[in-house]
Homo-oligomer: A and B are copies of this chain.
């Protein structure tokens, strides 16, 4: 199974209370599309041994990674190296859609449900 239409992606509740996230993963990486509603409350910064990269697909957000904070809009990208704390630094008045990559796949998200066919 090499392809996934939107209805074939896995779906999870975000661990950060953001609402559903859509997931696919291979051997080495997981791609997630995360939708965060406008005015969603901030969650504590967090870290994990997975490297994380992301690209903003829609909306605007403010992120902190380590000691660096930046506003991000559509087309902006970030890299959170393994074990570096990161998170949103301000609430957003717009809905945000982000594509995020976790390397390797996040085991906590893989385990929540069986893999897509």
Contact = CB atoms under 8 A, between A and B. Distances in A.
Contacts of A79: 2-4, 24-26
A80 B27 CA distance: 10
A26 to B, nearest CB: 4
Contact of A26 (B6, B9, B33, B51): B51
Contacts of A26: 51, 53, 79, 81, 103
Nearest to A75: B6
A101 interface: yes
Given A3-B63, A3-B76, A31-B101, 7 more contacts: A2-B80, A4-B76, A4-B77, A26-B53, A26-B81, A53-B101, A55-B99
